[in-house]
Amino acid sequence: MKDVKEIRFGDVVREARQKMRPPLSLRKFADRIGMAPAYLSKVEANLDRPPAAEKVEKIAELLGLDKIELLRLAHRVPTELAEAFHQDPRAPEFLRVSMRSGLTPAQLQELIDKNKTEKPK
C-alpha cells in the first residue's frame, strides 16, 4: 500500500510564502502577520504549533489561501464560530445535536445550501 503524505500546516504556509511574487522573506512575512520570525520559522518547519485562529486567518489572507482549509490544517476554529459559541449558549448544543443526527454528508450539505439561500422569515 502506498503511503499518503500528510499535508501539514507549516508545509502549506512555507510553500505558499515562497511562491509569492515578488518573493517575501520569512522575516518580512512574520512582520506583516505580527509574529516573531523565530516562531514562524518553527511553525513552517512543523516544529511548533500553529498560531491562534486570528493569526491563521491573517496568514491565509496574505497568502491568498482558503481560510477555512488553513484553519482546519491548524486545528483551529474560525473566529466567527468561536464568537457565536460565546454569544449564544445554544450554539454548542446545536453542533452536538447535528453531529449525532445521522445526516449523511450529502444531506448536511443540502441543509447548508438551503439555509444559505433562504431568507429568514
The per-residue pLDDT string of the chain (121 residues; one tens digit each, 9 = 90 and over) reads 445 578 999 999 999 999 999 988 999 999 999 999 999 999 999 999 999 999 999 999 999 999 999 999 999 999 888 888 889 988 888 888 888 888 888 988 888 888 887 665 5
30: domain CATH number is: 1.10.260.40
Domain count, the chain: 2
Q: Which three cell numbers stand for residue 60?
A: 491565509
* Res 3: pLDDT: 55
Q: Are residues 87 and 43 in the same domain?
A: no
Separation CA 59–CA 55 (nearest Å): 6
Strands (E), the chain: none
Separation CA 78–CA 71 (nearest Å): 7
The answer to the question of residue 4 being in a domain is no
Separation CA 106–CA 114 (nearest Å): 12
pTM for the structure as a whole: 0.77
Q: Are residues 14 and 68 in the same domain?
A: yes
Domain range for 99 is 80-117
Question: Which residue, among 72, 21, 74, has the nearest Cα to 49 in the 3D structure?
Answer: 74
Q: Are residues 20 and 61 in the same domain?
A: yes
The answer to the question of residue 108 being in a domain is yes
